[in-house]
Amino acid sequence: LTDLPKSEYDRILAGHPKEAKQALARLVISGYHPTDDAEVAIARWEKEISGGQLPESMPVVELSRSHLDTEGKMAAPHLFKTTGLQPSTSEAIRLIKGGGASFYLGEEKHAITDRNEQVTVVDGLILRAGKKKWARVKLVD
């Protein structure tokens, strides 16, 4: 994918794995896109994946208020399934048991550690499944 000499490739791989990954990503991306795009992608990865911060954009998922109980809550596994972040309730339970489920109210992160947890769902609630799956909830009638 690149015209990089083998000696340069070997030098990159001999360094720190994270730096090697970024250097190779720059090379591959710059072969298809402007070099600035590679830097933007790496900065985004550092912020969102490595740093665990909220992404700049994410899918918005509409959720009917009729799915909530009288207190505006929903069981965490059902919430992750209903919003499409997990394909099934069983997968959502595995995600929770593995420590990969959380939600954000504003910038404040709340880890979901109990499969029986009832999450108060408000408009704008942000859900996170693992490191890369995000959704912002929009409540509809």
H-assigned helices in the chain: 6-14, 17-32, 35-45, 76-82, 89-97
Residue 28 clears pLDDT 70, i.e. is over it: yes
Token pair 């990865």 is found at 45
Q: What is the pLDDT of residues 104-132, one digit of tens each?
A: 988 789 999 999 999 999 999 999 999 88
3-state secondary structure of 121: coil
What kind of fold does domain 60-140 have according to CATH?
3.10.290
Global pTM? 0.68
pLDDT at 90: 97
- Structure-token pair, residue 28: 């591959």
Q: Say if residues 126 and 54 touch (Cβ distance below 8 Å).
A: yes
Rg (CA), the chain: 20
- Structure-token pair, residue 74: 């929903």
Residue 26 clears pLDDT 90, i.e. is over it: no
Per domain, the residue ranges of the chain are 6-50, 60-140
Token pair 């309730």 is found at 89
